[in-house]
Amino acid sequence: MRRLCAVLGLLAVAASAVAAEIAPSERRSGYELMGRELRAMQDDDAANPAMLWVLEGATLWKRATGAAGRACADCHGEATASMKGVAAHYPAFDAATKRPVSLEQRINICRVDRQEAPALAYDSRELLALGAYVARQSRGLPIAVTIDDRMQPFLEAGRAIYERRQGQLNLACSQCHDANWGRQLAGNVIPQAHPTGYPLYRLEWQSLGSLQRRLRGCLVGIRAEPYDYGAPELVDLELYLMWRARGMTMDAPAVRP
Amino acid sequence: MASALINVPPRAKRGEIIEIKTLISHVMETGFRHTQLGAVIPRNIIRRFVCTYNGTEVFRADLYPAISANPFIVFSTVATESGTLSFQWTGDNGFAVTESAKITVE
Amino acid sequence: MERAASRREFLKIASGVAAGLGLGAVVTVKPASATPAEMQEAIRSVVGSARITPGKVTIELPPLIENGNAVPLTISVDSSMTEAEHVRAVHVFTEKNPQPYVVSFHLGPRAGRARVSTRMRLADSQNVVAICELSDGSLWSDSAAVVVTLAACLEDGI
């Protein structure tokens, strides 16, 4: 308890919440912080619990649904080909709403507009399964979100959230994940917080979960009001985190403690 | 939910020891967790896993709440003859899942 | 021990906030834990009163695990696994989980090899014990200590 208070006290009195960005060559995925056994769990598709959702996603991909009676496969064909690299480019700009949308939101846009089916709830079994199946097709590929003039303001909004002190603990994401990564916080090592593996199987959740679930968990952890699932703030933050992790290799669906 | 992921080599030599990996989706609720209001969340686990090889039991596991969610079990068996490996999970609340895999033994 | 306690405190506060925010949270209100004596009782109720000798069976557990919800466990027994001499069963127990039983594996000569893996929950840093029954009725044991930095059974409700 004393150690925790000391760390938090140090962070609280730190003059500026804006820490220097991690140099590209120094960026490390959370995978590298895990012990040998957890890395083995992630690497073996026969052992990785996330693969249960990927398998479910493969089934849903081919299932006709909604008033339009269409399956994802009817428009997109084989996901192994058509979805290759897609998750690595999300969040991406949506022309209709004129703002970036997350992969989960894109899946729901397709469901509502093309399949004429109701949108799937966040972190519902089906949405996670489809997200995991699509993200799986980007495994091994570099993260490459597109930032053009349209996306720039949203990237800046995401960066502002990342650097702003929030919550009763008055902490900014950057204070832990840019300034103190690699150090211990209550028995666990602070990761750099790169979303290379989402959606991922988190041992703490004993389930697969989305990046937004993790972000909301962090916000509750610093005793801030978490944004609702699908809130623009969370998507902007996702965009910033993916941009911050540009070039890093996707390892979705990952396993993390 | 895709119930189970089974990993069995599709072919093997007679007498070869083969490794089988099984993963099934199940919350394995321990019965020790409480809601915010203090109510116990009732136990809901898989209690037994059985593997039969052409009808003969070759492996069995009795599971307790200490087994993690989405139970993962790896075991081995001798490839004796071609046929069907059948896997059955049973547990609380009438949970019962059966999967099978064919194996060709030369 | 101090680390585990401070993490629990932190999460209790966090889940208190979650409750205040009206989010459905799941917390464990001080789980009861077994004691080494209860584990011994459990062992005896499964294998009877015959003598247990350390040896032949080996527990493989990571010495330090980041999260107690899914700890990879491998049990292996030094046995030729023939009709004449084989492992009948291996039973695994813990000292400090809410209840001492973990799993019982039933093998036999058709296993070919006495090596089984699974993933288990650990509520605290503690000892894990495996008792192996051979076909001649003899009992063998092994014990392993694990340090758990984040205990199982805790979850913030989001």
Question: Which among C19, C32, C116 has CB closest to B75?
Answer: C116
Is residue B33 one of the residues assigned to a domain? no
Q: Return the CATH fold of A17-43+144-256.
A: Cytochrome Bc1 Complex; Chain D, domain 2 (1.10.760)
Q: Say if residue C120's pLDDT is above 70.
A: yes
Q: Determine the pLDDT at residue A20.
A: 77
Under a CB-based contact definition with an 8 Å cutoff, are residues C125 and C114 in contact? no
| Residues of chain C contacting residue A254, judged by C-beta atoms under 8 Å apart | none
pLDDT band at A188; cut points 50, 70, 90: confident
Q: Determine the pLDDT at residue C57.
A: 97
Phi and psi angles of residue A61, each rounded to the nearest 5 degrees, phi first: -55, -35
Contact across the interface for C155 and A204, Cβ inside 8 Å: yes
| Residues of chain A contacting residue B29, judged by C-beta atoms under 8 Å apart | none
| B38 and chain C in contact, CB less than 8 A | yes
| B27 and chain A in contact, CB less than 8 A | yes
d(CA C121, CA B64): 10
Q: Say if residue A56's pLDDT is above 90.
A: yes
Give the closest residue to C59 by CA, choosing from C35, C92, C95: C92
For tokens 């099978």, the residue is B100
Q: Determine the pLDDT at residue A185.
A: 82
Contact across the interface for A52 and B23, Cβ inside 8 Å: yes
Residues B50-94: tens digit of each pLDDT: 999 999 999 999 999 999 999 999 999 999 999 999 999 999 999
The yes-or-no answer to whether A17-43+144-256 and A50-136 have a common fold is yes
Q: Return the CATH fold of A50-136.
A: Cytochrome Bc1 Complex; Chain D, domain 2 (1.10.760)
Is residue C16 one of the residues assigned to a domain? no
Residues A216-237: tens digit of each pLDDT: 999 998 999 999 999 999 999 9
Average pLDDT over residues C94-123: 96
| Residues of chain A contacting residue B72, judged by C-beta atoms under 8 Å apart | 47, 49
Average pLDDT over residues A161-183: 95
pLDDT band at C23; cut points 50, 70, 90: very low
Contact across the interface for A59 and B70, Cβ inside 8 Å: no
Closest residue, chain C, to B58 (C-alpha): C110
Under a CB-based contact definition with an 8 Å cutoff, are residues A144 and A90 in contact? no
pLDDT band at A18; cut points 50, 70, 90: low
Residues A73-95: tens digit of each pLDDT: 999 999 999 999 999 999 999 99
Contact across the interface for A187 and C4, Cβ inside 8 Å: yes
Question: Which among A4, A34, A40 has CB closest to C66?
Answer: A34
pLDDT band at A186; cut points 50, 70, 90: confident
Chain B, residues 5-24, CB within 8 A of chain A, namely: 5, 7, 21, 23-24
Residues A19-44: tens digit of each pLDDT: 678 998 999 999 999 999 999 999 99
pLDDT band at A152; cut points 50, 70, 90: very high
Hey, is A137 helix, strand or coil? coil
Q: Say if residue A253's pLDDT is above 90.
A: yes
Number of domains in chain B: 1
Give the closest residue to B63 by CA, choosing from A19, C116, A255: C116
Is residue B3 one of the residues assigned to a domain? yes
Q: Say if residue A208's pLDDT is above 50.
A: yes
Q: Say if residue B28's pLDDT is above 70.
A: yes
| A46 and chain B in contact, CB less than 8 A | yes
The share of chain A scoring above pLDDT 70, in percent, equals: 93
Residue A72 designated active-site: no
Six-digit token string for B95: 């949970």
Q: What is the DSSP string of A56-85?
A: HHHHHHT--BTTTTB-HHHHH--HHHHTTT
How far is A206 from chain B, CA to nearest CA, in Å? 6
**CATH number of the domain where residue C77 is located:** 2.60.40.2470
| C19 and chain A in contact, CB less than 8 A | no
Number of domains in chain C: 1
For tokens 């813990």, the residue is C94
Contact across the interface for C67 and A204, Cβ inside 8 Å: yes
Residues 6 or more apart whose CB falls under 8 angstroms from that of C24 comprise B35, B36, C157
Closest residue, chain C, to B20 (C-alpha): C116
Q: Which domain holds residue C143?
A: 32-148
Contact across the interface for A220 and C14, Cβ inside 8 Å: yes
Is residue C108 one of the residues assigned to a domain? yes
Q: What is the mean pLDDT of chain A?
A: 92
**CATH number of the domain where residue B103 is located:** 2.60.40.10
Would you kindly state where each structural domain of chain A is located, as residue ranges?
17-43+144-256, 50-136
Under a CB-based contact definition with an 8 Å cutoff, are residues A217 and A107 in contact? no
Element (H, E) at C128: strand C126-134
Task: Output the 3-class SS for A217-257.
Answer: HHHHHCCCCCCCCCCHHHHHHHHHHHHHCCCCECCCCCEEC
Mutate which of A176, A204, A216, A223 to test chain C, going by most C C-beta atoms within 10 A? A204
Q: Determine the pLDDT at residue C14.
A: 43
How far is C69 from chain A, CA to nearest CA, in Å? 6
d(CA C52, CA C141): 7
Is residue B91 one of the residues assigned to a domain? yes
Q: Say if residue A162's pLDDT is above 80.
A: yes
Q: Which domain holds residue B87?
A: 1-16+45-74+81-106
Rounded to the nearest 5 percent, the helix, strand and coil shares of chain A are 45, 10, 45
Q: Determine the pLDDT at residue A5.
A: 52
| A217 and chain C in contact, CB less than 8 A | yes
Average pLDDT over residues B37-44: 92
Q: Where do the DSSP E strands lie in chain B?
A: 4-7, 11-12, 17-24, 34-35, 46-53, 56-63, 72-78, 83-91, 95-105
ipTM for this prediction: 0.95
Six-digit token string for A137: 């097709």
pLDDT band at C158; cut points 50, 70, 90: very low
Is residue B99 one of the residues assigned to a domain? yes
Question: Which among A37, A188, A217 has CB closest to C149?
Answer: A188
Closest residue, chain B, to A130 (C-alpha): B1
Q: Say if residue A17's pLDDT is above 60.
A: no
Question: Which among A47, A53, A207 has CB closest to B72?
Answer: A47
Under a CB-based contact definition with an 8 Å cutoff, are residues B18 and B6 in contact? no
How far is A58 from chain C, CA to nearest CA, in Å? 26
Q: Determine the pLDDT at residue A2.
A: 54
| A257 and chain C in contact, CB less than 8 A | yes
Contact across the interface for A205 and C150, Cβ inside 8 Å: no
